[in-house]
Structure 1
């Protein structure tokens, strides 16, 4: 009877052990790290110099798994100086959810 109980414990215990912990230092076991920068295309909808934000209606950003949407982003002072409402731009984003920062932008209009 003890043998059956031991086999049962060994078979069932892993199911209750919780999620598998991966060692990112083991070859082939790297977790998918979020990129520190992402490129996107969008249209500038608003600029708020006082808040230091730029509102962009952007296309999907596959590198970070974001769908197309319109949202405000923090922006560097350099970005805010060159931004113009209504301009279509390619921009560089340092993703961090609602704390994401637009670090560069370039007009795609001629």
Structure 2
């Protein structure tokens, strides 16, 4: 008999390939640092220089703006899937990705898009 009465914390739940990065972005006008991205979602950290830390409760829907090095902007509708923790880290998923943004994320994941 297997005991299933315990919970594993900190286990990675995302199945999609992700790429670690360090990129400035904004969620609903608040500065954040994007730390990883996948086809399905992202990981980020609140910006310590932002005087009014964003309120990002579980389930919050908003807009993530990412500026690429060549001046293009990705605008993505998101939903928070992991609240801001004590370390300032949080995560979310993309709700509706345009074909253009899908291709950009794919290029980032495959290393074809230069971010710096």
Establish whether TM, by shorter chain, passes 0.5: no
Q: With structure 2 as the length reference, what TM-score do the two structures score?
A: 0.25
Q: Which has the higher helix share?
A: 1
Query: Structure 1 length as normaliser, TM-score?
Result: 0.26
- Which structure would you say has the larger Rg? 1
